[in-house]
Amino acid sequence: MSMLSEFKEFAVKGNMVDMAVGIVIGSAFGTIIKSLVSDMIMPPIGLLTGGVNFSRLKWVLQAAGADGKGEVAIRYGSFIDSVVSFLIIALCIFMVIRAMNRLQRKKESIPEAPAAPPAEVQLLTEIRDLLKQD
């Protein structure tokens, strides 16, 4: 099997499409959560902590020059925003996986009806029952 045909078989599988859709939706979800944290959750927390704007918190290692350029700083406030975003996304993913696992367990616990025996077995069973009646 050539590499090209092997790649074509890999790319056409349904799992690839599912994965691509998941990545796009996950990216959009991440953007929404980032906005939720930065614009709706952190401002009230900042207000409760004395008007602190977390996105602007930084530890300046080297001050900017006279032209306003060249500042070197560790922006830990932005990192705090990212950690809160991560925790919310992780919680959402946990809840989805938990719900899927519960549905899977319910699906597994439902006993399946036994499959009907093949036609030959049914015919032999009928013949046996007719012979027993006589």
Tell me the domains of the chain and their CATH numbers. 3-111 (1.10.1200.120)
Beta-carbon contacts of 42 under 8 Å, excluding residues fewer than 6 positions away, are: 54, 55, 80, 81, 84
Per-residue pLDDT of the chain (134 residues; tens, 9 = 90+): 688 888 877 777 767 777 888 889 888 988 998 898 888 888 888 888 888 888 888 999 989 888 878 889 999 988 888 888 889 988 988 998 899 888 888 777 767 777 788 888 888 898 998 888 86
The 10s digit of each residue's pLDDT in 21-51 is: 888 988 898 899 889 888 888 888 888 888 8
User: What 3-state class would DSSP assign to 33?
Assistant: helix
